[in-house]
Each structure stands twice: as C-alpha cells, then as structure tokens.
Amino acid sequence: MNERHAPDLLPAQQVLLAGLLDHIHRQTDTVQTLRADPSSSEEDHFRIMLVQTEIERVKFIVRSYVRTRLFKIEKYARFITMNEELQMRMTATEQEHARRHADLTDEHFFSSVLQSLPPPQRALDEEFDLVPAMIAGPDLNRAVIARARSDCPALEYPNGKTGTFSKGNVVLTPYNVVERLVEEGFAELV
C-alpha cells in the first residue's frame, strides 16, 4: 500500500513479490491435483474453496501493486530514463519498459506535431524561468499521511520545528520529511 500513497517510485520489492508468486503457483498446483482426485471428500472440497479464495485475494493485491508501479513508470518515463537513482529501484523489465515508453511518446510527439515546428522549438526538455520544467518528475513535496511502525527519531518539519514521532503516531506532512523512514520500513503510509 505504501506504493499507492507515495508520490515517488519506491524500491521494487522483488524478493517479496517472487516469494508471493511462488506461493500462488504452488497453491494453485495443489488445488489442481486435489481437484483431479475423485476420492476427495466434501470437507476437502471446502478446504480447496478456502485456499482458492485466498489465492484470489493475494492475486488482487499483487496486481494492484504492479499496476500502481506501472502507472508511475509511464507517467515519469522521461524523468526516469535520465535519473540513475530511480533506475536503481526498478527491475530490469521495468527499466526496459520505461525506456521504450519514453521513446515511443517522443516519437509520437515528433511525428504528430514537432516536425512541423521550426527546429529551435522542437526540443522536449527545455527549461525556462518561471515555468515548470518540461520533464515532470515526482513531486516529493506532496503531502502524505504517515504512521510510525516503531519509535522513530524526531522529524524535522519544513517550518523548522521538530516533532517526536513515536510508535502509532499519525502525521500529515510533505513526503520528503518521512521519505527515509518509509524506505527503511520504520514508518508506513496510510
């Protein structure tokens, strides 16, 4: 769920995801074999039903996790291709997808509009004063609601104040204040 609330792309949970997918496969296999077995009793059928329900629940969560990442990757594709640090947080397939998505949109913009503009106006990455940059990156100042999982060191808020952040506390604050804690697992976004 952290991934859903964070404005920035969080490090990919590859190990966890692989483990979950493994579990799903194993459980589905077991269900298949048990189903094929004609001698199974009614009680067994019931257990199979419960196991299947759980598989579906887990699948749903995995899917929404992957979808959320995909959404962010596509949104910030151009930014990601230029940012080493973000690339470190992604899996190889995700990196490949981001690069191709960025290339495709570039190509599309070029063929639909940019090629008929005079050459000096064709760039997609100019930066002017007073105008937000053309390449959108994640907004690290966006407000999030964070909850402490364990006692954390005091937070430094943007107005210069500091505040304690002990277990169970909930606070609404810009993302960059709690970014560290969320990445290290001391706090969660809710």
Partner 1 sequence: MSLPQSLRTTVTPPELELIASEQLVEIIPLVSMERTAFISGAYGPLRPPNKCKIPLWMALNLKLKKKCHIVPPDWLNVDDLQAILNKETASNAYSEVPFRYVEIAKVLLDVASEDMPQPDKIRYLLKDLREARQAKCRDALALINHSDVKMTNLSSMELNEVRPVFVQSMNIWTKLVRDPTENYIGEVEEDERVS
Contact set with partner 1 (CB under 8 A): 1, 4-5, 20, 23-24, 27, 43, 46-47, 50-51, 53-55, 57-58, 60-61, 64, 67-68, 70-71, 74, 127-132, 139, 141-145, 155, 157-159, 161, 163, 168-174, 177, 190
| Shortest CB 180 distance to partner 1, Å | 16
DSSP state, residue 137: -
| Shortest CB 179 distance to partner 1, Å | 14
Distance between CA 5 and CA 183 in Å, rounded?
13
> What is the 3-class SS of 42-71, one letter each residue?
HHHHHHHHHHHHHHHHHHHHHHHHHHHHHH
| Shortest CB 74 distance to partner 1, Å | 7
Cβ proximity to partner 1, 115 vs 164, nearer residue: 164
| Shortest CB 10 distance to partner 1, Å | 15
Cβ proximity to partner 1, 153 vs 158, nearer residue: 158
Cβ proximity to partner 1, 36 vs 131, nearer residue: 131
Burial 33-51 (b: 16+ CB within 10 A, else e): eeeeeeeeeeeeeeebeee
| Shortest CB 70 distance to partner 1, Å | 4
Tell me the C-alpha to C-alpha distance, in Å, between residue 46 and each of 41, 43, 171. Answer: 9, 5, 44
Q: Which of 126, 123, 78 is nearest to 98 (CA)?
A: 78
Run of H or E residues at 153: strand 152-156
| Token digits of residue 178 | 């709690």
Cβ proximity to partner 1, 114 vs 173, nearer residue: 173
| Token digits of residue 159 | 């107005």
Cβ proximity to partner 1, 117 vs 170, nearer residue: 170
